């Protein structure tokens, strides 16, 4: 291994390897430092939350758009043939809930 190399070259190689090892150890120390671990974990959590919120927003927007398209025409006018039955059903549900509430109070 040392054939053809001078003692100065060998010494320079040893010095270079020591510097590389020191840099590697410094990098490992930074990676395992509690502050670094907390910062990285926090960044991953924020990223996951952002991704989840983004997906939820897209899903909600899609659902609202789908529902809106059922009750409004493309030009923006309401579809009364679909709105009236839903409104009647809503009023009926409110009336039933109110009636049950009144019955409970009388007892």
CA 56 to the chain's CA centroid: 9
- Per-residue pLDDT of 8-64, as tens digits, reads 999 999 999 999 999 999 999 999 999 999 999 999 999 999 999 999 999 999 999
- Per-residue pLDDT of 63-100, as tens digits, reads 999 999 999 988 989 999 999 999 999 999 999 999 99
Q: Where are the alpha helices (DSSP H) in the chain?
A: 7-32, 34-71, 80-106
Higher-confidence residue: 107 or 18? 18
Beta bridge partners of 72: 78
Predicted confidence (pLDDT) at residue 1 exceeds the cutoff of 60: no
């Amino acid at each position: 291994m040392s054939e053809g190399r001078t003692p100065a070259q060998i010494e320079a190689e040893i010095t270079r390897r020591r510097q590389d090892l020191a840099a590697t150890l410094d990098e490992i120390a930074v990676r395992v430092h509690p502050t670094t671990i907390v910062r990285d974990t926090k960044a991953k959590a924020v990223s996951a939350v952002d991704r989840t919120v983004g997906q939820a927003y897209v899903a909600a927007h899609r659902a609202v758009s789908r529902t809106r398209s059922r009750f409004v025409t493309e030009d923006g006018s309401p579809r009364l043939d679909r709105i009236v039955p839903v409104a009647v059903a809503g009023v009926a549900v409110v009336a039933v809930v109110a009636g049950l509430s009144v019955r409970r109070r009388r007892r």
